[in-house]
């Protein structure tokens, strides 16, 4: 999938269509303090195996692309609903 680096789109903060800059979202490390991670650490500590069975079969063929839209007028940024793409690049 190819997307332009800059495009015109609706900004909910400015309440108008403005020029947007697109950037690709990056993964950050998960927090050890979140509820699910605390539960996982508690269940896997001590004796016993993994708390749930591993899924069988191959994984998904493509990953989701998370695009961050940044308004050039007000500087606010947000993430829209992601799309699946086997290969992603910015054109231009």
pLDDT tens readout for residues 16-27 = 999 999 999 988
- 51, 40 in Cβ contact below 8 A? yes
The predicted structure's pLDDT at residue 81: 85
Q: Is residue 10 part of a domain?
A: yes
Query: Cα separations (Å) of 6 from 62, 67, 92?
Result: 25, 12, 9
Domain count, the chain: 1
Give pLDDT tens digits for 26-53.
888 989 999 999 999 999 999 888 888 8
Distance (Å, whole) CA 20 – CA 71: 5
Q: What tokens appear for 84 in the block?
A: 């699946």
Task: Answer yes or no: is 69 within a domain.
Answer: yes
Q: How far is CA 41 from CA 28, 48, 52, in A?
A: 19, 12, 13
Full domain range(s) for residue 74:
1-28+63-82
pLDDT at residue 55 above 90? no
pTM, two decimals, is 0.72
92 pLDDT higher than 80 = no
Look at residue 2 and tell me if it is in a domain: yes
Asked whether residue 18 is domain-assigned, the answer is yes
């Amino acid at each position: 999938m190819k997307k332009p680096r800059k495009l015109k789109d609706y900004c909910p903060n400015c309440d108008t269509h403005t020029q947007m800059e697109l950037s690709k979202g990056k993964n950050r490390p998960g927090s050890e303090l979140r509820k699910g991670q605390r539960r996982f650490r508690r269940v896997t500590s001590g004796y016993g195996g993994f708390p749930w069975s591993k899924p069988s079969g191959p994984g998904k063929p493509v990953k989701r692309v998370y695009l961050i839209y940044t308004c050039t007028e007000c500087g606010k940024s947000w993430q829209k609903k992601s799309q699946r793409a086997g290969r992603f690049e910015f054109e231009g």
